[in-house]
């Protein structure tokens, strides 16, 4: 009987580890020297040579760096006492960035200089802006929040001369992504919202239960969100229903807190997060494999340049060029 119980225990242990076995992939990457040791929170490359990163520490420091040689050398083009949390470009010359204390910046000379944009009024929640998106020179969205319960989203249709304000008084907002000028999705603490042309926050979608940190759509119908609890979710019908394509953290696995999800086209995507988490999908987000060779550190953002090259950033000025 004792021998039988021991054999049974061994079988159970083997079954347990087999069930917990992760699918992994070894991605090729090169670490780039940014010359700074602060958090790199966002990345934007206009082409293979010209790129930008931004970052800093909350209410302490903020920077924007520019490269003209593919990331070999970096020049600081903006500094502040406010952390810069996201950056985007509409054209090679026109770009925007956002950061702490409702900060919005604009450049018209290719990122060589940046000027603060003044809001026409002071919103109720003075929080960090964490996400900014401009689909053209006129139409843009910005959102943010803090402390799990304070959030804000704003949008402009006139290049930022006026911003429409929609405050979230009881939930932090992480990121918004608009597929066109009238329809967008907002990732927040405990919920995902859908916005329309008439009402910025129109629908509370069926997806709930996580602190959703990032949202991205590859088409008007197909999109993804990821969360603090390690889940990745996919919709194929414009948010009407969702399925979980990467399970939440469990008590028996290393915890992953996702920070950003992005795709190249409709098939290849990355989701990045804590503890060196770099997950890759090559089948339109149906399955995900974790890269097993990244340093054990917080990966804050990912930017996909083309079908073979991506960039990931993290704490301590870390920036990686990834080949896939």
CA separation for the pair 249, 229 (Å, rounded): 6
pLDDT single digits (tens) 245-275: 999 887 777 789 999 999 999 999 999 999 9
Can you name the residues that pair with 24 across neighbouring β-strands?
290
How much is the pLDDT for 235?
98
pLDDT tens readout for residues 155-199? 999 999 999 887 787 899 999 999 998 899 999 999 999 988 666
Residue 278 near residue 272 (C-beta atoms within 8 A): yes
Strand residue runs (E) in 26-163: 28-33, 40-45, 51-57, 61-67, 75-80, 84-89, 95-99, 103-107, 115-116, 129-134, 140-146, 150-156
pLDDT at 4 over 80: no
Over residues 115-130, the mean pLDDT reads 92
Name the strand (E) or helix (H) holding 190.
strand 184-195
Is 210 among the domain residues?
Answer: yes
What is the number of domains present in the chain?
1
Contacts of 99 (CB under 8 A, 6+ apart): 54, 56, 62, 80, 82, 83, 84, 85, 86, 105, 128, 129
Q: What is the pLDDT of residue 164?
A: 87
- Kindly state whether residue 32 falls inside one of the protein's structural domains: no
pLDDT in the model for residue 22: 63
* Strands ordered across the beta sheet of 84-89: 84-89, 95-99, 103-107, 115-116
CATH number at residue 269: 2.130.10.10
pLDDT for the residue numbered 204: 85
Q: Is residue 8 domain-resident?
A: no
Please report which confidence band the pLDDT of residue 3 belongs to, taking 50, 70 and 90 as the band edges.
very low
CA dist 21 and 33 (Å) reads 34
> Does residue 7 belong to any structural domain of this protein?
no
Residue 112's closest CA among 92, 132, 137, 98?
92
Give the pLDDT mean for 290-307: 96
Q: What is the percent of the chain where pLDDT is above 90?
A: 82
pLDDT at 198: 64
Whether residue 140 lies inside any domain: the answer is yes
In a domain, 223, yes or no: yes
Does 147 score more than 60 pLDDT?
yes
Which pLDDT belongs to residue 77?
A: 98
| Burial zone of 157 (CB within 10 Å; 0-12 exposed, 13-18 middle, 19+ buried) | middle
pLDDT of 13 strictly over 80: no
Does residue 28 lie within any of the structural domains?
Answer: no
> What is the model's pLDDT at position 18?
39
Q: Residue 95 falls within a domain, yes or no?
A: yes
Query: 130 lies in which domain range?
Result: 39-323
């Amino acid at each position: 009987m004792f021998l039988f119980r021991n054999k049974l225990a061994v079988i159970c242990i083997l079954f347990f580890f087999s069930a917990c076995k992760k699918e992994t992939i070894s991605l090729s990457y090169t670490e780039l020297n940014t010359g700074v040791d602060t958090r790199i929170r966002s990345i934007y490359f206009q082409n293979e040579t010209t790129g930008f990163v931004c970052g800093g520490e909350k209410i302490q420091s903020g920077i924007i760096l520019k490269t003209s040689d593919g990331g070999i050398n970096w020049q600081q083009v903006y500094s502040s006492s406010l952390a810069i949390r996201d950056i985007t470009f509409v054209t090679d010359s026109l770009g925007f960035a956002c950061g702490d204390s409702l900060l919005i910046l604009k450049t018209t000379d290719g990122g060589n200089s940046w000027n603060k944009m003044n809001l026409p009024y002071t919103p109720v929640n003075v929080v960090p802006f964490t996400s900014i998106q401009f689909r053209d020179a006129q139409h843009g969205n910005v959102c943010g929040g803090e402390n799990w319960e304070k959030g804000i989203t704003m949008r402009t249709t006139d290049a930022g001369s006026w911003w429409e304000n929609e405050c979230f008084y009881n939930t932090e907002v992480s990121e918004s992504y608009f597929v066109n000028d009238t329809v967008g999705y907002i990732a927040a603490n405990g919920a995902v919202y859908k916005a329309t042309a008439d009402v910025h926050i129109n629908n509370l979608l069926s997806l709930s239960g996580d602190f959703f940190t990032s949202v991205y759509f590859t088409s008007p119908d197909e999109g993804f969100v990821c969360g603090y609890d390690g889940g990745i979710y996919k919709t194929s019908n414009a948010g009407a229903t969702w399925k979980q394509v990467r399970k939440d953290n469990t008590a028996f696995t290393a915890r992953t807190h996702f920070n950003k999800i992005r795709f190249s086209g409709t098939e290849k995507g990355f989701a990045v997060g804590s503890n060196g988490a770099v997950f890759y999908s090559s089948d339109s987000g149906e399955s995900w494999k974790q890269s097993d060779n990244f340093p054990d550190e917080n990966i804050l953002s990912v930017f996909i340049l083309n079908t073979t090259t991506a960039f990931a950033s993290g704490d301590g000025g870390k920036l990686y060029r990834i080949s896939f």
